[in-house]
Chains A and B, each alone.
Chain A
Amino acid sequence: MSKPKNQCSKTHGAPKVKERDQKVCIRFKCTVLNTLMDVLRHRPGWVEVKDEGEWDFYWCDVSWLRENFDHTYMDEHVRISHFRNHYELTRKNYMVKNLKRFRKQLEREVGKLEAAKCDFFPKTFELPSDYHLFVEEFRKTPGITWIMKPVARSQGKGIFLFRKLKDIMDWRKDVGRSDDQKDDIPVENYVAQRYIENPYLIGGRKFDLRVYVLVMSYIPLRAWLYRDGFVRFSNTRFTLSSIDDHYVHLTNVAVQKTSPDYDPEKGCKWMIQRFRQYLTSKHGPEMVETLFRDMDNIFIKSLQSVQKVIISDKHCFELYGYDILIDQDLKPWLLEVNASPSLAASSQEDYQLKTCLLEDTLHIVDMEARLTGKEKRVGGFDLMWNDGPVSREEEGIDTAGTGNFVANTHLGCNNDRKKQLRQLFCSFHSQKKVTS
């Protein structure tokens, strides 16, 4: 397979020389790739490479990765946008397994209280393998609603809700024979998950949160949390009485787009800042801080649960889209983690968010080798975990003992990234001048 070219040697103090990279918009499944292409094209010194040319940076899609990663030699500086076996985190059935295992481990090693912090995932069973376990649980709590989701599909496809076992009897007959497919792609494996019947509603509507987490490495675990994100509303009012109404329960924009009520101009989205302010004025700052702390916990525990199974290749990084649901008690639940969050923009505001998100991602990937590695914030990203919790306080102040630890996360807070980036890169520039 093609070997990426070595970079040219650099002269003292001169800015990093040109690097080649390959854009693969053609291979992306998204229909609108403006955001990524725009960001990459506008990056100074970055050049698009076509077809079989050699590259230093590849924002690939997961199917290319599956087929080619193992046969591709990459030089040390090369970066690619996925981890080889990311599905340990992003495929629902694997994630459940890993989380359950991690929870048991925590209970053994630390205690019940710590293990209980993993209870952010609604009870889930893999089907058809855990069918009998599922039926047992199902019979314990009759009358509640369950949701059936295919493990590998996205955008809300193939999902349905049910309350009676007979609703899934027919489905079970069809699915039973799929096991002799390739292990990598279980075609129609499903998970049955307890449906959250008391979601938090705004204006009578259900919603979920999309949050972005950037993982630069698993061993050691280094993860960044982006300050912006958005809230996706269901287009119709929430009611449990119509289970068949797909449109109410699924908040994915992709499904909402096909709802008869859908008005593309509306966007059905709020920026997370507005959401945070709305909650603060309704419940007060303390409850909101608890909620956001609980969300931090979700991100970290979920990453820790797959830390040992994911092949931590130094060439890999990954930008995850976390889907979170909040219930009426202000408890956050993890719905799923996406390895390829949609980068298509549904509105001007959305376009802004995604281009800034991608720019900052590229700053952290740092092909230009501008960062020192000691940064706690780059643009809209805050360093959330660096082989241990990261505190908002400056280094050297001992907060561990005082119990005043405040995490270095600012989800939904003011994102003055331009200013921060200016300060960051200006200081490098002056440092370089000094050292050269």
Chain B
Amino acid sequence: MLQEEEDLSLTIAQIVQKLKGSRLYAQLERQAWVSLQKPEIKLETLKEDIKEFFRITGWEKKLHNAVYSELTVFPLPRHPAAPPEHLKEPLVYMRKAQGSWEKRILKSLNSMCTELSIPLARKRPVVEQKELLNKWNEMGTDEPDLSLFRPVYAPKDFLEVLINLRNPNYENGEHLNFKTHLGLIQVPLKVKYISELKEFFVELSLNTGQLGIDDATQVPPELFENEHVRLGQKVLAEQDSAAAQQYIRQGSPTALRAELWALILNVSNQPEDLLYYEQLKSNVIQHDLLVDSLIYKDVKLTASNDDYYFVFEDYLYQVLLCFSRDTAVLGHFAYNSASPPKSYIRGKLGMEDYAVFYPPNGVIPFHGFSMYVAPLCFLYHEPSKLYQIFREMYVRFFFRLHSISSHHSGIVSLCLLFETLLQTHLPQLFYHLREIGAQPLRISFKWMVRAFSGYLATDQLLLLWDRILGYNSLEILAAHLDFLLVILHG
């Protein structure tokens, strides 16, 4: 009992600390001062009156949303004595594996750099800056020679690393028995059983209406769809993040989705956000990064060739180039098992004073990275809003799909969950595939790493991502795949 209370006060203290530095705090303070002018605020009951004022004007709701956002994104402190690495990743062998994987990526990047004799970063001459500024809205028309660039890694390379992950304290045993895991992932992580999944995804049960199913068939709209839309409009009117997150578990109506996601991710398009985006844009204009060429190449190879996303090519550059320069993203490394690569100013190798993170946001894009942004272009058309939504999606979800960790939404757990479910439901199929050397994970891995972007029709994809937001977990990706296979096979 006491421990819980202590934990709670610790959490509260941490959240207060975080929010104190935020824009919301300044706004609340200002609002409080302004409210003093109002006649209904009396000195004797100052605290209650101001609270009431906040409640009526909707500021309390905004605070709720901000707190909820903090709770959702940042994991609760486990133990006061735990070092910060534990927040990133508690298991040592996982940390080590992630560390060596990062070294490999960086080495690959550096060698490409040396081979092509291109600096990691350089300042653009003024003429080039002007040119880029003119072309900002149609960077897709540029056809730079990217033939010498290659993606730093592709999902299949990452899969090989995951396959070779082993817990040194765990004895797997040579002989097959009924407990043996037949799949590629051989680490003993805990994943949900089907019964736990059923409980977790209770809103997805057959008895509950779902968008994407119950509106497409002959079910009359009065039974579910109309009511669901009305409810969605109400949730938006209340501007309540937590309610929106609960609501969206049953899918979002097309017309409301953009606003709902913004509410859940607590993204609003304030003037400060626009300014921030403009600042990033000017960073792009002034400096050219090697990573930019990787981004160009990726967009040209993946999104531009997609039947539906090719139209949004220009937006992708506008988002991804700015994303690489956004140092605010570094904040997520506190709970990401990965760490941002460090680079040193020329000639000062090893001297910490001259170390910089490279790229500035610490994220090196891989083959298919731009597909995380592409589906969002269906919903958001204003570059700075699109940017914010993507950044929020990345630091909450997507980063887990390409870093090695024991988190239940991490890619390792997802792969294990997928394989376990498959082995449970279709054991004969799984065994047979294993015998002929066609492990199912080899095919499904890239789908999961991309969160199905490019592999599912957009409307289906957005419904799936609704559930990711609703349950604040990526487990739906593995479960979804498994259900698909069961249906296809059965």
Chain A interface residues (CB < 8 Å from chain B): 202-205, 233, 236-237, 263, 265-270, 273-274, 277-278, 280-282, 284-285, 347, 349, 414, 416
Contact = CB atoms under 8 A, between A and B. Distances in A.
Given A236-B141, A237-B138, A266 B255 contact: no
Given A204-B137, A267-B307, A278 B312 contact: no
Interface in B378-410: 378-379, 381
B110 interface: no
Given A203-B314, A237-B138, A281 B378 contact: yes
Interface of B: 137-138, 140-141, 216, 254-255, 257-258, 304-305, 307-308, 310-315, 377-379, 381, 457-459
The dominant DSSP class at the A interface is mixed
Nearest to A236: B141
Report which residue of B305, B307, B313 has the largest number of chain A beta carbons within 10 angstroms of its beta carbon. Answer: B307
B141 A237 contact: yes
B254 A266 contact: no
A277 B141 contact: no
A410 to B, nearest CB: 12
Contacts of B379: 281
B335 to A, nearest CB: 31
Nearest to B457: A274
A205 B304 CA distance: 14
A277 B459 contact: yes
Report which residue of A233, A265, A282, A284 has the largest number of chain B beta carbons within 10 angstroms of its beta carbon. Answer: A282
A274 B311 contact: no
Contacts of A273: 459
Contact of A204 (B254, B308, B314): B314
B138 A202 contact: no
Contacts of A414: 216
Contact of B305 (A205, A266, A285): A266
B311 A285 contact: no
Given A236-B141, A237-B141, A205 B308 contact: no
Contacts of B381: 282
Contact of B378 (A237, A268, A269, A277): A277
A35 to B, nearest CB: 19
12 contacts: A203-B312, A203-B313, A237-B141, A237-B314, A270-B311, A273-B459, A274-B458, A278-B378, A280-B255, A281-B257, A281-B379, A282-B381
A267 B140 CA distance: 17
A409 B169 CA distance: 65
A230 B377 CA distance: 19
Nearest to B143: A261
A75 B307 CA distance: 46
A205 B458 CA distance: 20
Contact of B255 (A202, A267, A284, A416): A284
Contacts of A269: 307
A74 B470 CA distance: 64
Contact of A349 (B141, B304, B307): B307
Report which residue of B216, B254, B304, B308 has the largest number of chain A beta carbons within 10 angstroms of its beta carbon. Answer: B254
A113 B255 CA distance: 31
A233 B140 CA distance: 15
Which 7 residue pairs are nearest across A and B when measured between Cβ atoms? A203-B311, A280-B254, A284-B255, A237-B138, A203-B312, A281-B254, A285-B255
Contact of B311 (A202, A280, A281, A416): A202
Contact of A281 (B140, B258, B304): B258
